[in-house]
């Protein structure tokens, strides 16, 4: 996980403080949560919860690259239905 392209510890201790510090330094009111298909769900949830705790808005990016067969993008599901 990274905050402003700077890696943070795997256990994500201090994530709320890092986000708060980044918000104060930049004046941003929102963050972009970006994860790929290999990202553990718990990591995305912890990042979402940390941002929510300090009132930081959250935009969620759609992963790029190969989607697992079990989770095709909506356009592919629509095309498959015909």
Q: Parse the chain into domains and list their residue ranges.
A: 2-81
Mean pLDDT throughout 41-50? 91
Q: Strand 57-60 and strand 30-33: pairing?
A: parallel
Cβ-contact 22, 2 below 8 angstroms? no
Instruction: Look at residue 4 and give its three-state secondary structure.
Output: coil
- Residue 28's pLDDT is 92
**And the tokens for 78?**
């629509």
pLDDT in tens, 15-45: 999 999 999 999 999 999 998 888 888 988 9
Q: Which of 10, 12, 23 is nearest to 54 (CA)?
A: 23
What are the φ/ψ torsions at residue 52 (nearest 5 degrees)?
-65, -40
Q: In which band, very low, low, confident or very high, does the pLDDT at 57 lie, cut at 50, 70 and 90?
A: very high
């Amino acid at each position: 996980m990274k905050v402003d392209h700077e890696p943070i510890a795997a256990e994500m201790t201090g994530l709320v403080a890092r986000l708060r510090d980044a918000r104060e330094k930049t004046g941003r009111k929102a963050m972009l949560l970006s994860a790929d298909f290999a990202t553990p769900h718990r990591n995305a949830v912890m990042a979402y919860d940390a941002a929510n705790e300090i009132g930081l808005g959250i935009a969620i990016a759609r992963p790029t690259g190969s989607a697992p067969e079990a989770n095709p993008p909506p356009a592919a599901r629509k095309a498959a239905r015909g």
